[in-house]
């Protein structure tokens, strides 16, 4: 059976994913093709075209389109909860009660237009709508490969109405235990503080997480933001997760998801790139609240399952919070945590398709890797060089990994463009900027001169699987850069450029099976440094999506101070 997953229901991060007989064969985010980060307000035309073309599937041969947004009936507590909590905005409250999902009709119009425009299923294909948080749950559970009873956790801003999901998977079926509804949203709370701290919601949460280790979470009492106990929580909508007239507006009229009362309490909204006082402590405080509330709810709703099997999977935007994930895997009853690498709403294309394919009888294969996007040949890379306006200097090289390792060992950052593009926000060695993590100042150089981002932003170590247990003091799987680990004694001195302020590292463990060329590169670098670790960050500049094509890579190369770009076996230099 051919099932096409289409996301874009919540006006950002549209993507497409294709399953054939239960196997995920292709997935891509629309932003990578349009070069518009998060592709807000769009549907995934280019991503859909790619998935079908890569798999050799004619559009008319698609059997089912799965969409991660469903109608929520009036009998659900979700709409009543939303209406009651938004009494101060009666237009929204009444819409929830009498018209249901605000986005549903618009979504169906856009989805049917895409189906018609691309001739999916001959223009008349079966459409299966999947609740947003069930799609998140399926993207983690069905792709995890876990066979035993598995705890399932989903936390994000919101889907239709749900913001937080607790459930379990057993024998291929997903069962709900408990949901929480908008505006009671941990992801929304974290996003509102992200805006207050001067970053963009849906993009800057990583920055808040990166800022938090510099601050003291005990300096300020943030308890007034949220009431919580082991069974539930309630966000203070006098301060955050606000809509309509309660929103704070800046001088240009832009509205934010916090109120003027938050400004009165904490002071002016942060501006600029410095990690300044008291904002670093605010970041530490909101990170601490996220962790404590989440862990308490996990214990109450999922604790019995964890004590039984120790397996848990996690999706939703908050699943990309690597510090929270470290706290989860440190629980004594957790044997293994699987985080969907595309945990944000882009991953709901995978989730909706896997959920529908499973319901229709396909056996879903575990996710083996996240290299699901386009790839390019040496000839295509050379053609891009020949056609580029900057007329790049290039050469075809042999022993590519050895040559790259020498450049890295000499202290140079290297743009590394290989194989299929990653699906999800993490560069995992195919669309990366690399550096030798023992080279003093390499992180500052990449931040300032190449990425053009905040100097304090941390970098990630990609490491050989045989090195991981030594450096991380753990044998927990970590192929997708979704966890932080405490770095073993002595390693912070060996690879200081990839160790965070708090002594942790957000690691990717590389195996020869999943990425042989990247593995070979790190092995070659190890011969020079003795470490078996490389600094890795995504191949893009601040505010841009990760690069997709050779032309994108060349544009980024000439728009930065990078001096070396390796695309397959083509070395481009300045």
Catalytic (active-site) positions: 12
> What's the Cα-to-Cα distance from 188 to each of 170, 304, 318, 325, rounded to whole Å?
30, 28, 10, 18
Compute the distance between CA of residue 375 and CA of residue 381 in angstroms, rounded to an integer: 10
Are the beta carbons of 123 and 116 closer than 8 angstroms?
yes
Phi, psi angles (nearest 5°) of residue 328: -65, -45
Question: Would you say 17 and 350 are in contact if contact means Cβ atoms under 8 Å apart?
Answer: yes
Strands 311-315 and 150-155: parallel
User: SS3 of 338, please?
Assistant: strand
Q: Do 166 and 178 touch, CB atoms closer than 8 A?
A: yes
Question: Nearest Cα to 396, choosing from 372, 377, 412, 415?
Answer: 377
- Of 209, 183, 185, 213, the closest CA to residue 197 belongs to 209
Which of 533, 316, 321 lies closest to 429 in space, CA to CA?
533
3-state secondary structure at position 431: strand
Residues 370, 423: Cα–Cα separation, whole Å: 5
Asked if omega into 183 is within 30° of 0 (cis), the reply is: yes
Q: Are 285 and 219 in contact (CB under 8 A)?
A: yes
Between CA 405 and CA 415, with CA 411 as vertex, the angle to 5 degrees is 60
Burial class (CB in 10 A: 0-12, 13-18, 19+), 406: middle
Residues near 397 by Cβ (< 8 Å), separated by ≥ 6? Answer: 403, 566, 569, 570, 571
The answer to whether 59 and 45 are in contact (CB under 8 A) is no
Distance CA 35, CA 38 (A): 9
Task: Specify the 3-state DSSP secondary structure of 301.
Answer: helix
Q: What gap in Å lies between CA 564 and CA 225, rounded to an integer?
A: 47
The per-residue DSSP string of 309-328 comes to H-EEEEESGGGG-HHHHHHH
Element (H, E) at 288: helix 279-309
CA dist 116 and 112 (Å) reads 6
> Three-state DSSP class for 17?
strand
Residue 567's CB is within 10 A of a number of other CB atoms, namely 25
- DSSP H/E element including 408: helix 400-409
Question: Cβ distance 157 to 168 under 8 Å?
Answer: no
- Phi, psi dihedral angles at 457 (to 5 degrees): -65, 130
Q: How far apart are CA 377 and CA 24, in angstroms?
A: 23
């Amino acid at each position: 059976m051919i099932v096409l997953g289409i996301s874009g229901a919540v006006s950002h991060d549209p993507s497409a994913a294709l399953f054939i007989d239960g196997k995920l064969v292709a997935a891509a985010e629309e932003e990578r093709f349009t070069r518009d980060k998060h592709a807000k307000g769009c549907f995934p035309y280019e991503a859909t075209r790619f998935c079908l073309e890569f798999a050799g599937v004619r559009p008319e041969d698609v059997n089912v389109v799965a969409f991660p947004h469903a109608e929520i009936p009036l009998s659900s507590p979700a709409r009543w909860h939303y209406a009651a909590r938004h009494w101060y905005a009666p237009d929204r409250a009444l819409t929830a009660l009498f018209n249901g999902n605000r986005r549903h009709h618009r979504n169906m119009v856009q989805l049917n237009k895409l189906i018609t425009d691309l001739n999916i299923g001959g223009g008349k294909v079966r459409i299966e709508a999947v609740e947003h948080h069930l799609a998140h749950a399926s993207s983690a559970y069905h792709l995890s490969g876990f066979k035993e009873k598995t705890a399932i956790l989903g936390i994000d801003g919101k889907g239709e109405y749900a913001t937080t999901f607790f459930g379990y998977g057993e024998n291929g079926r997903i069962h709900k235990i408990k949901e929480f509804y908008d505006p009671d949203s941990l992801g929304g709370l974290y996003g509102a503080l992200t805006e207050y701290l001067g970053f963009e919601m849906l993009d800057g949460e990583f920055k808040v997480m990166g800022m938090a280790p510099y601050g003291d979470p005990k300096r300020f009492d943030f308890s007034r933001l949220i009431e919580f106990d082991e069974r539930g929580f309630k966000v203070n909508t006098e301060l955050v997760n606000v809509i309509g007239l309660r929103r704070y507006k800046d001088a240009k009229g832009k509205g934010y998801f916090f109120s003027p009362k938050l400004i009165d309490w904490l002071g002016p909204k942060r501006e600029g790139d410095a990690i300044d006082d008291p904002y670093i402590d605010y970041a530490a405080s909101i990170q601490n609240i996220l962790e404590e509330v989440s862990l308490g709810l996990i214990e109450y709703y999922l604790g019995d399952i964890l004590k039984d099997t120790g397996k848990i999977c996690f999706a939703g935007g908050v699943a990309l919070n690597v510090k929270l994930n470290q706290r989860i895997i440190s629980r004594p009853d957790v044997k293994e945590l699987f985080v969907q690498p595309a945990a944000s709403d882009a991953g709901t294309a995978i989730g909706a398709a896997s959920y529908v394919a499973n319901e229709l009888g396909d056996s879903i294969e575990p996710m083996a890797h996240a290299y699901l996007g386009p790839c390019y040949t040496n000839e295509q890379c050379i053609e891009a060089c020949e056609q580029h306006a900057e007329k790049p200097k290039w050469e075809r090289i042999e022993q590519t990994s050895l040559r790259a390792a020498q450049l890295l060992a000499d202290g140079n950052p290297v743009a590394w463009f290989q194989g299929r593009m990653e699906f999800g926000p993490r560069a995992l060695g195919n669309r990366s900027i690399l550096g030798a993590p023992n080279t003093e100042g390499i992180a500052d150089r990449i931040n300032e001169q190449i990425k053009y981002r905040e100097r304090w932003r941390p970098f990630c170590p990609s490491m050989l699987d045989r090195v991981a247990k030594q450096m991380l003091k753990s044998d927990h799987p970590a192929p997708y850069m979704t966890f932080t680990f405490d770095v073993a004694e002595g390693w912070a001195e060996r690879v200081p450029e990839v160790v965070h302020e708090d002594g942790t590292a957000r690691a990717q463990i590389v195996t020869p099976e999943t990425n042989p060329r990247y593995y070979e590169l790190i092995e070659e670098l190890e011969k020079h440094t003795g470490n078996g670790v490389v600094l890795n960050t995504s191949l893009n500049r601040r505010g841009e999506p990760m690069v997709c094509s050779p032309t994108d890579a060349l544009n980024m190369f000439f728009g930065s101070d990078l001096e070396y770009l390796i695309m397959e076996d083509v070395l481009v230099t300045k």
